[in-house]
Structure 1
């Protein structure tokens, strides 16, 4: 009888039976030892019989092993395999996420862009590897540049031979910034060609990120301004992002924190004009709707689709008040096209209406009106300074103040005219465009895609941890944003081609480990078995699967 024991308490054993004709038959069993309740000795108890060895269902056994392996860590699997091969298990690190990012990095040609830029330099440091390490860190485990050195050395496998030191990271950031224009343009055109991107419609928006410091140290970027994070007390920078209709970020800008959104347009337009994109239609949000911006966007033949303020200039009110029926595009989008003005001053508008949003707006307003009644009742019970303080706070309130008016007596009351006006705007948004060829449907649907920019900003700030920013010098801040942009580019391509969110892809691939073993002939690196989901991800991204075992070193 042969026994193969395992530390979990159960073991596989084989037993032989001799037939009358002298032949032997071997059986395979799963057993464990139990103690005799009276005599106290140990005895084998068969848990399951697999049958005759020469008639085993090998496929069923493989399925059983695969099922059991779900409860064993990658390190333990590697250790078991190593023991059977005479190897000593040294360590293991997650490698799947880095494999995917490296595959995209090379597929897009970012490595070649950096190599071309490095041709005429005398750098001996691993600049290209250091840049990839920082980009991968943003996508996989965002941390400070000081922490990246240890992360690369101990916590991930990036397939980088030369050790990455902190000084390499900072030199690489300086190199990246110096070559930012050429690298961004080259990466854009390579990506556009590779993915067959549509570059006739460019979406642009801005956000800002603040720095927890009091002194701006004479920075040209760091400045106090109106913060979208409600942190007007801290200095900030403005970040602009241009995105294609597929949601791929094509370029980023880092601008002074006190710069108005509208002032960004001229800089952005000039920069992208240098790329010779042809007839570009710009889609921008309500912060960009000034006469000057409209002229800038039409410079060199460009066109625009702009979100307009519902409670804006007279021309907007005139457009909203024009008669006509809405045309249903889909359940959540009804549109109406109107024109305002005559001759060269004639402007084209599209009014979009979302019934679902209208119901939401109605519900929110009803809730605010209930709250107003409660606040007014409480206000009338106060007097003196307490009354005045509460009164002016209520008038200034963002949600409730819009429905209030002050009578000659000084008393506050609900303004029914304002409520009636608000009801007319429920579920609506107003768009203007300079393009005469686009249909009203394309204008409305194109503008709805502006949310791709907003989604990109959310990814930058949450998944890729744009902040906190540990840099205070302008050049390092610009370089940090460039690294985040490169990470965002890889992330969005992954999401576009797999149809899955980056956190889900990352979680799946980070279960793929690379184990390190010591053999008498040297060092062996081996990946854990790829799951079907992992194989599908690599296939969708057109990335070659890794060989299970790397050569002995």
Structure 2
């Protein structure tokens, strides 16, 4: 039985009639039999009869009818994110691993507590005090999960810290079974994260200390975190150091731990310039490992020596995957060096240096006016004022100063400017691998994979909210670090997505190129299937620096949308980038070669 609507058209109007009918069968045919004709629908609505009929029928219902329009839903528990985390958790075998660890400690719900903390970090990070409420009301936890008490969450942090090393070894074994890890290159980098709360020393938190803050929070104590990743970006292990630890001092211990715990054989360590020291290079060799290290641009003699080998006849190898080109150089001590350059980096370095020089020069001009006006005469005070200008400028090495009682003159250091022009758009790598073990393009790609480690740090600090740490004990802080969340980190996007590589360089997991083949022997390195392509238009060498110190001429402006004549042209100052201040006549200088007596071009 149901209400049937019948439509009839009369002229330009359509009428709807309501009838109460039932379905009847006449042999093989099914039809409708009218029980009651209710009338025309619009007339029933206007008269109120339709509402009275519905209300009379509702009075005989066993349950109250709810108007869907009157219902408001504030929210519903989320299920997708936790379900994905649970699937990966079980595939990695972490449920069983922490169940065994909990049984050994008499903590039956250790696995449930660690899973809830890990899933929470991945879905909606919050404090441990808020965690029970989140698990009960905000998400749908997997079947079989039992809710731990708040105290069990805090005790689980101590348990995770105690089994940190064995957990990393277990995960490494599982990942080797599930994937083909690229163990030929291992990337290592560091970051720091600061702590809230008391800033004083603590017996229960010995690694809390003040140091160089990458978060720009020098007012807070911190800890330093080191992360090891495979060549394809999969985390292997992490280490927590005291907040005042020097970056270079961490590498030997990390290498010893890596070779002892994971038995990776002969590998190649990839690290940035902050970890470079003579002791570290020797430590890498003593550990039976090779290295790919970036040199310090202004303080490393190897960098200058490699750059000075670049000439017009230099053969450049295109590294399309990294959007750059590279050239080989052999240093005097036999070290293999690779000079890497790109047009985009050259434009950025040139523009930035010109801006810094113009900004510093504006401060020096103002200081010169003060000295000329007699407001500053003491050489010590003049020197301190110049230091306040040049100290934070980043280009102090590009200026020479002459200070005397009541006298202040500055000019450009031509040798420093020549090196800056040579350096624009370039950096230098050194490696212990020969060309047979790793071609030029492979070395460059391995170094660029350090960007994957930096992506992990950004994920930890921003998405997983590792920053800041609010725990007041060492174990709780160590357990909140990457240990629980490392296996579930999302893979970052590729740092080379523009073109397909022309040589067999490795690509990131999101690239369309096939991944590198798994390493059958830990001592084997990637070899090129075809010789690398060379570029026929290398950058021209920089001019030899002059012994006289005068202002370098600016580079002529180029048309919009076109490249400068030389990617390493270093305009100082560039009037098309930043406005150069107008200078008053300088003080007379007794040195005939000084720019103050030759018009000081470009000042």
Q: Give the SS at the match of 1:349.
A: strand
Once the two structures are TM-superposed, the CA of residue 478 in structure 1 deviates from its matched residue by: 1.2
Once the two structures are TM-superposed, the CA of residue 498 in structure 1 deviates from its matched residue by: 9.2
Q: Distance in 2 between matches of 1:110 and 1:493?
A: 19
The count of aligned residue pairs is 435
* Runs of 4 or more above 4 Å deviation: 13-18, 21-26, 33-36, 39-44, 385-390, 493-500
What is residue 200 of structure 2 aligned with on the other side?
A: 215
Q: Distance in 1 between matches of 2:459 and 2:137?
A: 26
What pairs with 1:139-538 in structure 2 (closer than 5 Å)? 139-159=122-142, 161-212=145-196, 213-218=198-203, 219-274=205-260, 275-323=262-310, 324-330=314-320, 332-342=323-333, 346-382=334-370, 383-384=375-376, 390-408=385-403, 409-436=407-434, 437-481=437-481, 484-492=482-490, 499=510
Q: Give the SS at the match of 2:408.
A: coil
Q: Distance in 1 between matches of 2:88 and 2:283?
A: 36
Measured against aligned partners, the alpha-carbon deviations of 1:492-549 in whole angstroms (never above 9, x if no partner) come to: 359799959xxxxxxxxxxxxxxxxxxxxxxxxxxxxxxxxxxxxxxxxxxxxxxxxx
Once the two structures are TM-superposed, the CA of residue 34 in structure 1 deviates from its matched residue by: 8.1
Are the equivalent residues in 1 in contact too, given 2:342–2:425 (CA < 8 A)? yes
CA RMSD of aligned residues (A): 3.5
Are the equivalent residues in 2 in contact too, given 1:338–1:349 (CA < 8 A)? yes
Unaligned runs of 5+ in 2: 6-15, 22-28, 35-40, 51-65, 495-507, 512-603
Q: Distance in 2 between matches of 1:22 and 1:473?
A: 79
Q: Give the SS at the match of 2:294.
A: strand
- CA 1:22 to 1:228, structure 2 compared with 1: closer, same or farther past 3 Å? closer
Q: Distance in 2 between matches of 1:99 and 1:83?
A: 33
Q: Decide which structure has greater strand share.
A: 1
Once the two structures are TM-superposed, the CA of residue 425 in structure 1 deviates from its matched residue by: 0.6
Q: Distance in 1 between matches of 2:123 and 2:464?
A: 8
Once the two structures are TM-superposed, the CA of residue 231 in structure 1 deviates from its matched residue by: 2.9
Are the equivalent residues in 2 in contact too, given 1:249–1:485 (CA < 8 A)? no
Once the two structures are TM-superposed, the CA of residue 389 in structure 1 deviates from its matched residue by: 5.5
Once the two structures are TM-superposed, the CA of residue 15 in structure 1 deviates from its matched residue by: 6.3
Q: Decide which structure has greater helix share.
A: 1
Q: Distance in 2 between matches of 1:494 and 1:351?
A: 27
Q: Distance in 2 between matches of 1:359 and 1:351?
A: 17
Tell me which of 114, 119, 134 is aligned to 2:117.
Answer: 134
- CA 1:316 to 1:22, structure 2 compared with 1: closer, same or farther past 3 Å? closer
Provide the TM-score with structure 2 as the length reference: 0.66
- CA 1:157 to 1:390, structure 2 compared with 1: closer, same or farther past 3 Å? farther
Are the equivalent residues in 1 in contact too, given 2:326–2:338 (CA < 8 A)? yes
Q: Distance in 1 between matches of 2:216 and 2:393?
A: 13
Q: Which has the larger radius of gyration?
A: 2
Q: Distance in 2 between matches of 1:2 and 1:17?
A: 5
Q: Distance in 1 between matches of 2:20 and 2:42?
A: 23
- CA 1:15 to 1:308, structure 2 compared with 1: closer, same or farther past 3 Å? farther
What is residue 29 of structure 1 aligned with on the other side?
A: none
- CA 1:114 to 1:239, structure 2 compared with 1: closer, same or farther past 3 Å? same
Measured against aligned partners, the alpha-carbon deviations of 1:455-503 in whole angstroms (never above 9, x if no partner) come to: 111111111111221112112111111xx34324312359799959xxx
- CA 1:460 to 1:291, structure 2 compared with 1: closer, same or farther past 3 Å? same
- CA 1:22 to 1:188, structure 2 compared with 1: closer, same or farther past 3 Å? closer
Once the two structures are TM-superposed, the CA of residue 41 in structure 1 deviates from its matched residue by: 5.4
Measured against aligned partners, the alpha-carbon deviations of 1:252-306 in whole angstroms (never above 9, x if no partner) come to: 1111111111111121111111210112111001011111111211234211111
Are the equivalent residues in 1 in contact too, given 2:307–2:422 (CA < 8 A)? no
Are the equivalent residues in 2 in contact too, given 1:34–1:42 (CA < 8 A)? no
Once the two structures are TM-superposed, the CA of residue 414 in structure 1 deviates from its matched residue by: 3.8
Q: Distance in 2 between matches of 1:34 and 1:366?
A: 80
Unaligned runs of 5+ in 1: 5-12, 27-32, 45-81, 501-553
